[in-house]
Amino acid sequence: MIRCRIAVFGAGAWGTALAQAFCNTHEVSLWGRDRPHLEEIAHLRENRRYLPGVRLHDTLGIQADFRTAAEQADLHLVVTPLAGLRETARQLRQLRPGTPLLWACKGFEAGSGLLPHEIITEELGPDAPCGVLTGPSFAAEVARGLPAAVTLAARDATFAHHWVGVLHQPLLRIYANTDLVGCEVGGAVKNVMAIAAGVSDGMGFGLNARAALITRGLAEIARLARALAGRSETLMGLAGMGDLILTCTGDLSRNRRVGLALAQGKSLADILSELGHVAEGVSTAREVVRLAQRHGVEMPVCEAIDALLHHGLNARSAVERLLARDPREE
């Protein structure tokens, strides 16, 4: 097995979980923007803010200096919220150009509507050695060493297969893919669908309704992926169906919890304040609807959730809007 030095940028739940997982076989350092938070992690060997109760390996390095983390790594792994991807990539380009880069951010960039790989292309160029790590994986379970399977997608099949070989582990299985668009659309839009599933469950509509919502949600995701030149079969795998099912049904899902709270009549501001984490589906809903309209893609579930989150529609009206749609062929 090849042992390498990995710098993980982003000390939230998912960044910490991946750092914990990979330090079983690699030399890993974890960087975050909040120095006092990093000092607390180093002292307690626990990320109490985002992963309480998980004892971090003694071999996991905590690095407060961005330059040191970047310059000493063979692989850069960016696990910031999507809003931080562009600036992090820009800094890495200046410090260590050409270093292989993976990101685990999901969503569409606010304002531009760009997918993560499009942001990376703008910042690092079209030939940068890079890819996305995505799929059905709750941070708390990965950090505790429970089994999971994810996808590593890159334009360059050789790059994808190489890093799958380096990073693949018995309890964190990684599969190669070359459909960046399909994988990223699946990872982004499933967060919007999870909010919808939370609303449905919170209003007591039952398991039948949830199954229908997930199924129709997958159809919406596939339509958008195809419009953006992604492959339909990608959405049948880990980065599509797998991630969608997990996020819509698992109680650890932040986006699902947003939907549950909306069904209780709570305001979005209060929900996000109580959550204490980024719920990417909130900002993604707006960008998905804009993108769908631009490409002429029908996405009624996403439109209803966007109206609920950003245009004053209440939860019951959002559901009634979906139920009132005309019957049609599947």
| 309 touches 287 (CB < 8 A) | no
DSSP 8-state code for residue 75: E
| Domain closes at, from 131, 163, 178 | 178
**Residue 88 structural domain:** 5-178
- Which pair of tokens denotes residue 255? 């986006």
Domain check: are 148 and 212 in the same one? Answer: no
- Does residue 57 surpass a pLDDT of 90? yes
Give the pLDDT confidence of 209-249 residue by residue, as tens digits. 999 999 999 999 999 999 999 999 999 999 999 999 999 99
DSSP 8-state code for residue 230: -
| 124 touches 102 (CB < 8 A) | no
**SS3 label, residue 310:** helix
| 132 touches 104 (CB < 8 A) | yes
Domain check: are 207 and 157 in the same one? Answer: no
Q: Active site includes 266?
A: no
Domain check: are 191 and 308 in the same one? Answer: yes
- Does residue 29 surpass a pLDDT of 80? yes
Closest CA to 297 of 245, 207, 242, 230: 230
Domain check: are 80 and 23 in the same one? Answer: yes
Question: What confidence tier does 326 reach under pLDDT thresholds 50, 70, 90?
Answer: low
CATH of the domain at 118: 3.40.50.720
Higher pLDDT, 327 or 31: 31
Domain check: are 312 and 206 in the same one? Answer: yes
Give the pLDDT confidence of 140-195 residue by residue, as tens digits. 999 999 999 999 999 999 999 999 999 999 999 999 999 999 999 999 999 999 99
What rounded mean pLDDT belongs to the chain?
94
Residue 174 is assigned to a structural domain of this protein: yes
Give the pLDDT confidence of 62-96 residue by residue, as tens digits. 999 999 999 999 999 999 999 999 999 999 999 99
**SS3 label, residue 134:** strand
Q: Which residues are within 8 A (CB) of 12 and not within 5 positions of it... i.e. 6 or more apart?
A: 32, 50, 79, 80, 81, 139, 277, 278
Which among 155, 190, 231, 286 is annotated as catalytic? 190
Domain check: are 186 and 318 in the same one? Answer: yes
H or E segment at 222? helix 206-227
Domain check: are 169 and 279 in the same one? Answer: no
At residue 277, the pLDDT reads 73
Crossing angle of helices 280-295 and 180-202, rounded to 10°: 120
Q: Which residues are within 8 A (CB) of 238 and not within 5 positions of it... i.e. 6 or more apart?
A: 134, 135, 136, 149, 150, 151, 175
Residue 188 is assigned to a structural domain of this protein: yes
Question: What confidence tier does 276 reach under pLDDT thresholds 50, 70, 90?
Answer: confident
Question: What confidence tier does 329 reach under pLDDT thresholds 50, 70, 90?
Answer: low
- Which pair of tokens denotes residue 230? 């992604």
Domain check: are 127 and 253 in the same one? Answer: no
CA distance 248 to 211: 10
Buried b vs exposed e over 196-219: b needs ≥16 C-beta within 10 Å?
Answer: bbbbbbbbebeeebbeebbebbbe
| Domain closes at, from 152, 178, 204 | 178
Q: How many structural domains comprise the chain? A: 2
CATH of the domain at 212: 1.10.1040.10
- Does residue 138 surpass a pLDDT of 60? yes
Distances (CA, A) of 286 to 111, 189, 216: 9, 11, 19
| Domain closes at, from 178, 202, 230 | 178
At residue 190, the pLDDT reads 97
At residue 246, the pLDDT reads 97
**Mean pLDDT of the region 306-312:** 93
Residue 329 is assigned to a structural domain of this protein: no
Is 181 exposed, middle or buried (CB count within 10 Å of its CB: 0-12, 13-18, 19+)? buried
Domain check: are 13 and 149 in the same one? Answer: yes
Q: Which residues are within 8 A (CB) of 94 and not within 5 positions of it... i.e. 6 or more apart?
A: none
CA distance 216 to 209: 11
Domain check: are 164 and 297 in the same one? Answer: no
Domain check: are 265 and 219 in the same one? Answer: yes
Residue 330 is assigned to a structural domain of this protein: no
| C-alpha count within 13 angstroms, C-beta hemisphere, residue 118 | 13
